[in-house]
Amino acid sequence: MRDGLTRRRVLAVGGALGAMAAGGLGLAAGLARHPAATGAELRSAVPLPPPYRVPLPLPEVLRPVATTGGTDRYELVQREATAEILPGVRTRLWTYGGTFPGPTIESRRGRPVTVTHRNELPVPTVVHLHGGRTPAESDGYPTDLVLPRGWGATGGHGDGHPDGGTGHHGGGMRDPRAVTSELTRAYTFPLDQRPTLLWYHDHRMDFTAPAIWRGLAGLHVVRDDAEDALGLPAGPRELPLMITDRAFAADGSLDYPSLDPALRTRPGVREPYLAGVLGDVILVNGAPWPVHEVDAARYRLRVLNASNARHYELAFVDEGDGRIREFQQVGSDQGLLAGPVTHSTLPLAPAERHDLVFDFSRVPVGTVVRLVNRLGSGRTRDVMAFRVTRRARDDSRVPRVLSTDLPDWRRADAVRVRDFSFRAGRMGADGGHGWLIGGRAFDPARTDVTVRLGDVELWRLVADVHHPVHLHLTGFRVLTRGGRDPLPHDAGLKDTVSLRPGESVELLTRWDGYRGRYLFHCHNAEHEDMGMMANLEVV
């Protein structure tokens, strides 16, 4: 992202948010012209390969170990592994099943899935299915830890509490409701939700960002018969694209500015990276600037931004003449749109997913089409490339009507309105820097919001710098942005919305599904680790 806000400016903008919330939504628009400072970029200490030489890898699809009682059962081992991400360089990773990304789980709408995770890593872990409509006990609450064998005997957890760290939130914080287990835990996902691309990742309190950075992320696809019948590109012409950024140390390891590289007792990052950690290498499905050979046909591209803090503005560009090519968006975080939306560029914040169709038959065979990041500079402007190699039959289509099951909530349906500010600030008695929701840092023992099952609510959010805000359990509609109509990429049902600097958004959601304790938080993973989460109780 472009740098521009000094720390003093960040704090000054943050101080204005209370007035914004009290005085309506229009005031935030004046600040939206300022660029965001979303962190500092790490520079790799090893030679980087030229772009578009490494083939695009496709994550393996995990096979169930059993399919009994109407439930598909899977097993995954979280373990360290070594992989060649940069050609000729060996890199140590934390993985699901030994690969980065982890294996993809394919499931059907309404057919439950149980995934038993075994933690063979040196620290506690938590698994969250991002975008899943999941009972609270399987949602991956940050203190519901899976402890490695012998963790309690090692003293590695600092103050003896199983939250795995002393915390940014006052030190020695305890969660009386934490449910920990040793070595294994089974997560059950009913998947009673619209077909879409979900992703699973670590969600351990205070240490989510470095755990994801080390490799703990994978894809989960939900499908149903209605979507299958649409005729969208499928099979080898449906490509999952997990986009991340990383940096590499001189020994080939992943570079990350942790205060405690062992991720055991002291959370957080060094001062220059408090706003977020950016890498100088763009990976797609774990490969640097890859290339994929395609037919002259339509392809469905299931895109996820799994970066910690980097925002993208995606565009498809002809390598020869630099022409920007249009493409269609057919889905968002929570599934298909009502109808396709045509774009020439598309913003993508951390944790957002876009379901796209690009028609390669519109470019000559032999053409290289580059997927670029218009917010990047130097090497981070490149993402990947597609080489059109042959003419081929294409029976796919993009219907004018994609879905008729989107919720029809209206503003008048909301039984209450809530206001939340997302801003930088000082945390606790020690006055340390952090990121706050409503002026408060996360405390797992405090209930911040209580909602009633089935209620429709209107949420108004305002931000100081870029904050991609994620709500667990539910999807939402973006009603307004800066007091005006939502932008084209806001269409459909979302679970993550990108707030730009000084911007406000209105969200409309219905809290249904399950009772229990959930979260909403910023999905800039460094912001999340430094306090920008809040508890939500569904009753």
Per-residue tens of pLDDT for the chain, all 539 residues: 333 333 333 322 222 223 333 333 332 333 333 334 578 899 999 999 999 999 999 999 999 999 988 999 999 999 999 999 999 999 999 999 999 999 999 999 999 999 999 999 999 999 999 999 999 999 999 999 999 998 975 444 433 344 444 454 434 468 999 999 999 999 999 999 999 999 999 999 999 999 999 999 999 999 999 999 999 999 999 999 999 999 999 999 999 999 999 999 999 999 999 999 999 999 999 999 999 999 999 999 999 999 999 999 999 999 988 999 999 999 999 999 999 999 999 999 999 999 999 999 999 999 999 999 999 999 999 999 999 999 999 999 999 999 999 999 999 999 999 999 999 998 776 667 799 999 999 999 999 999 999 999 999 999 999 999 999 999 999 999 999 999 999 999 999 999 999 999 999 999 999 999 999 999 999 999 999 999 999 99
Contact call for residues 354 and 347 (beta carbons, < 8 A): no
pTM for the whole thing? 0.91
Per-residue 3-state assignment (H helix, E strand, C coil) for 307-356: CCCCCEEEEEEECCCCCEECEEEEEECCEEEEEEEEECCEEECCCCEEEE
| Domain range annotation of the chain | 7-37+406-538, 66-229, 237-253+260-391
Task: In whole angstroms, give the CA distance from residue 344 to residue 321.
Answer: 16
Give the three-class secondary structure for 464.
Answer: coil
CATH 2.60.40.420 fits domain 66-229: yes
Rounded-to-integer distance, Cα 7 and Cα 323, Å: 38
Q: Measuring CA to CA, how many Å separate 220 from each of 101, 314, 497? A: 11, 22, 20
Locate 43 and state its tokens: 């520079």
User: CATH topology for 7-37+406-538?
Assistant: Immunoglobulin-like (2.60.40)
Structure tokens at 174: 């305890």
| Residues 273/209, Cβ–Cβ less than 8 Å | no
Same-fold call for 66-229 versus 237-253+260-391: yes
From the options 3.40.630.30, 3.90.1150.10, 2.60.40.420, 3.90.950.10, give the CATH code of 237-253+260-391.
Answer: 2.60.40.420
What DSSP designation does 193 have? S
Residue 484: how many CB atoms within 10 A of its CB? 10
Backbone phi, then psi, for 30, in 5-degree steps?
A: -65, -25
